[in-house]
Structure 1
Amino acid sequence: MVGAEVRKLLGLPTAWVGLTLGLIAAPLLVFVNAPALRRAIESGQIPDVSDVGYENLGIGLLGALILGVVAVSSEYTSAGDDSPGAHQLTATLLAMPRRGQMLTAKAAALVLVAAVQGALTATATVLLTRTVLPVPPISPSRVAAATLYWCLLALLAYAVTLIFRNGIITLTVFIVNSSVVSVSYLLTKLTPWAAYLPDIVGAHMFLRSHPSDVAIPPVTAGVVMAAWVAALLTVAAYLFRRRPA
């Protein structure tokens, strides 16, 4: 069942956009940022270089968001001209009538794909950074934390898309918030509690310094992030069971 969902996810063209973006964007950014970072390190503008390399993972996380959104939004696409108004979800539920079981299988497939993508991207990005800049050796625990954040972010997008049943709106909000202007970060200027919002707190799992003024230990950040994801998945599953296909 999980294998079938993995094949379904990997069979979506949009999913491959997320996979490609997630895999290559961060490593490419290493080479783009390397000259400026080298000058900053040599001049002492970056006294602590432990986060150099890991910070580049932010752009790759857009791949995880795309995967999480597409895993759900694909089910709400039209089933074809022969069945106007019908969705792919109708066929999926005919093959897998237990909705809870279906959601679990899709989430497990998403985690498997996101975990492989996250581990490969984080490892490649940090290793490439070390080849071009004087930074500390790769930390397996930090790579593992970044991979976990990758999976949790994919599940967060999965849950939010299930709740709103609109992939375009969900993806637009996530992309704007993560790359154009972070509403969560702006809120940290108003209240320190905003640092515990999912997109802010999750970064504390593998980054040692952060633009917010609140320092959150990695384990605490992981627990809070997991709690956010669990809560949203619970709401999404409840709504999914009560709504018609």
Structure 2
Amino acid sequence: MRAEVRKLLGLPTAWVGLVLGLIAAPALVFVNTPGLRRALESGQIADLGYENLGIGLLGALILGVVTVSSEYTSTSDDAPDARQMTATLLAMPGRSRLLLAKGTALSLVVAVQGALTASATVLLTQAMLPKYAPPFEPARIAAAVLYWVLLGLLAYAITLIFRNGIITLTVFIVNSSVVSVSYLLTKLTPWAAYLPDIVGAHMFLRSNPGEVHIPPVTAGLVMTAWVAALLALAAKLFARRPA
């Protein structure tokens, strides 16, 4: 696990995810202050500060993807079939232990990133709008951090299944920041609210858009079930595939 943490933090792309995840949400507080003041006038303050945490999930997604994709990237133009995964499996032949170490390393890094970002974003909102910002709730912050960790593991599992980081990351970024296919599906059926990227937000947001209200604990259990199922599938495929 120590080796996987060092490996992850040694990836330039991972630092892109770390920096993006750390600064995007607090920066959004400054950008959105005029809009936040207008929301205050209409009484929409339940998620003030917390709603900015959504953009930070891009950092967790990037970290989840590069944890796996870096292993399958060619290490040399002269030897396009040479990949880091070959050396990794020689050093750690136990594939289950390898996946557990990678997943644990990813979870630790994303959890630290999420805790720092969520706390800074909420505290900054309170400093800028002290009369209106909701109180600092450790349980709610923890739920947001858990959401980030589960999203990172979700990206980790899907990248492991398809072994293509570019496609996986493109789909995640487009779905989370440009056009949310999951949100559009909620307009067709209320069951779409239980898709992992939608249901997870109910863990810490109190005024989610849409008609379906999901209690925070239920949302956490549903998202955990999604991630566990995809991790199990990824582990099964990883055990059967050649390096």
Report whether the alignment pairs 1:140 with 2:156: no
Question: Which residue of the partner structure matches residue 197 of structure 2?
Answer: 199
SS of the equivalent of 1:97 reads coil
Letter in 1 for 2:37: R
State which of 50, 56, 62 in structure 1 corresponds to 2:58: 62
Match of 2:111 in 1: 115
Aligned partner of 2:228 among 224, 227, 230 = 230
Partner of 1:39: 38
3-state DSSP class of the match of 2:205? coil
Superposed CA offset, 1:10-49 (max 9, x none):
00000000000000000000010012211331x3x2x241
Q: Which moved more, 1:32-41 or 1:147-156?
A: 32-41
Q: What is the identity percentage for the equivalent residue pairs of Structure 1 and Structure 2?
A: 78
Instruction: Name the residue aligned to 1:13.
Output: 12
Residue 213 of structure 1: CA displacement? Answer: 0.9
**2:108 corresponds to 1:106:** no
Deviation at 1:81, TM superposition (A): 4.3
Return the offset for 1:86.
Answer: 1.5
1:124 aligns with 2:123: no
Report the Cα offset of residue 75 of structure 1.
0.2
TM-score normalised by length of structure 2: 0.97
How well do the aligned residues superpose, as a CA RMSD in angstroms?
0.9
Q: 75, 90, 96: which one pairs with 2:92?
A: 96
Q: Which residues of structure 1 form unaligned runs of 5+?
A: none
- Once residues 51 and 39 of structure 2 are traced to their aligned partners in structure 1, the CA distance between those partners, rounded to angstroms, is 15
Name the aligned partner's letter for residue 191 of structure 1. T
TM score, norm. by length of structure 1: 0.96
Contact 2:47 / 2:134 at 8 angstroms: preserved in 1? no
Amino acid in the other structure paired with 2:123: L
Unaligned runs of 5+ in 2: none
Measure, in 2, the Cα distance between the counterparts of 1:99 and 1:82: 28
Pairs aligned (count): 241
